[in-house]
Amino acid sequence: MTLRRLVVAAAVVDDLATPRLLLAARRSRPVELAGRWEFPGGKVDPGETPVDGLHRELREELGVQVELGAELLGPDDGGWNITDRHVMRLWLARIVDGEPEPLVEHDALRWLPAGEWGSVDWLDGDVRIVEALSDWVEQEAV
């Protein structure tokens, strides 16, 4: 069995209790991923907790500070296997300081309204997470 590297990401939303907008980030690199959309985040550095790594990545990639909400647990031992080498953990997040900008690895950001979260060309590993997030938010709203 191959050991997967931990990746942390945020479903940046407008409101943690009743999300209506989701922020998607379009990759500018590497070439094979350019033009596709993803959740902002990245790899956890050695000695970092997943939460600390996520806060660092969001500062570096978007220039924002966030409040974290619930973690969306995945079917792969609580995470989401996004490639054969990476497992992702994902939290809801709300921006508390800064205006998001595509600073690193992205060339565009887009706020997607509820019901249209799947309307962009997400990275293959993120598609089922977007679907699960949509279902989860709908269930929480009931």
* Bond before 40 cis per omega within 30 degrees: no
Handedness of CA 97, 101, 103, 108 (dihedral sign): positive
Task: Compute the distance between CA of residue 92 and CA of residue 45 in angstroms, rounded to an integer.
Answer: 21
Read off φ and ψ for residue 73, nearest 5 degrees. Answer: -70, 140
- Tokens 């379009």 identify what position? 26
CA angle, 22 then 47 then 39, to 5°: 15
Domains along the sequence of the chain with CATH? 3-139 (3.90.79.10)
pTM of the model: 0.94
pLDDT along the chain (142 residues), means of 10: 86 96 96 96 95 98 97 96 96 98 96 96 97 87 59
